[in-house]
Amino acid sequence: MGHKSGLPLAAFLWLTGAGLAIAFGTVSGAGQNSEHERITRHALACAELSATDDCFQEKSLAELAGGQGNFGAVGIPDRGSLIPENKAHCDSGDFLDVPGYPQTRDAAQAALAACRAFMIARLDEAVADAAGLLDASGALRKSQLDTPCLFVGQMKGHAKCNVLEDLGILLHTAQDFYSHSNWVDRADPALPLSAENPPGLGNPGRAPWLDLRVAAPPFPDGLITGCFDKPPEATHCNYGAGLHRVKHAVVNKDEGTIDPLIGTGTTLRGRVADNFARAVNAAIEDTRDKWATFRERLVAAYGPEKGALLACAIAHDDPQVSCVAR
Give rounded-to-5 percent helix, strand, coil for the chain.
45, 5, 50
Residue-wise pLDDT tens digits, 141-188: 999 999 999 887 767 889 999 999 999 999 999 999 999 999 999 999
Q: State which H helix or E strand residue 243 sits in.
A: strand 243-244
Q: How high is the pLDDT of residue 112?
A: 98
- Out of 68-77, 135-144, 204-213, pick the least confident: 68-77
Q: How confident is the model at residue 103 (pLDDT cuts 50, 70, 90)?
A: very high
Between the two ends of the chain, the Cα-to-Cα distance in Å is 28
Q: How high is the pLDDT of residue 48?
A: 87
- Residues 53 and 311: their CA atoms lie apart, in Å, by 9
Which residue type is seen at 283? Answer: A
Q: How high is the pLDDT of residue 8?
A: 35
Residue-wise pLDDT tens digits, 240-267: 888 999 999 999 999 999 999 999 999 9
State the pairing for strand pair 32-33/238-240: unpaired
Mean pLDDT confidence for 63-90: 92
Residue 191 pLDDT > 90, yes or no?
yes
- Residues 301 and 292: their CA atoms lie apart, in Å, by 14
The residue ranges of every structural domain in the chain are 9-322
Q: How high is the pLDDT of residue 157?
A: 86
> Is there a cis peptide before residue 319, judged by omega within 30 degrees of 0?
no
DSSP 30: T
Q: Is 276 in a helix, a strand, or coil?
A: helix
> What CA–CA distances, in Å, run from 269 to 41, 147, 180, 326?
24, 39, 10, 47
Q: How high is the pLDDT of residue 13?
A: 39
Residues 6+ apart with CB under 8 A from 128: none
- Residues 101 and 227: their CA atoms lie apart, in Å, by 12
| Cβ contact 285:206 at 8 Å | yes
Q: How high is the pLDDT of residue 74?
A: 96
Mean pLDDT confidence for 24-40: 73
- Residues 246 and 95: their CA atoms lie apart, in Å, by 7
- Residues 282 and 274: their CA atoms lie apart, in Å, by 12
Q: Is 280 in a helix, a strand, or coil?
A: helix
Q: How high is the pLDDT of residue 169?
A: 97
Q: How confident is the model at residue 18 (pLDDT cuts 50, 70, 90)?
A: very low
Percent of the chain with pLDDT over 90: 79
| Cβ contact 72:3 at 8 Å | yes
Mean pLDDT confidence for 219-226: 98
Mean pLDDT confidence for 106-129: 98
Q: How high is the pLDDT of residue 79?
A: 87
Residue 295 pLDDT > 80, yes or no?
yes
User: Which long-range CB contacts under 8 A does 28-33 form with residues at least 24 apart?
Assistant: 31/255, 31/266, 32/254, 32/255, 33/255, 33/256, 33/257, 33/258
Mean pLDDT confidence for 198-223: 98
Residue 15 pLDDT > 60, yes or no?
no
Q: How high is the pLDDT of residue 69?
A: 73
- Residues 324 and 326: their CA atoms lie apart, in Å, by 6
Q: How confident is the model at residue 285 (pLDDT cuts 50, 70, 90)?
A: very high
Mean pLDDT confidence for 294-314: 97
From the CB of residue 194, how many other CB atoms can be counted at a distance below 10 Å? Answer: 13
Mean pLDDT confidence for 202-224: 97
Q: How high is the pLDDT of residue 32?
A: 57
> Is there a cis peptide before residue 148, judged by omega within 30 degrees of 0?
yes
Residue 31 pLDDT > 60, yes or no?
no
Residue 105 pLDDT > 80, yes or no?
yes
Over the chain, what is the mean pLDDT?
89
| Cβ contact 183:198 at 8 Å | no
From the CB of residue 132, how many other CB atoms can be counted at a distance below 10 Å? Answer: 16
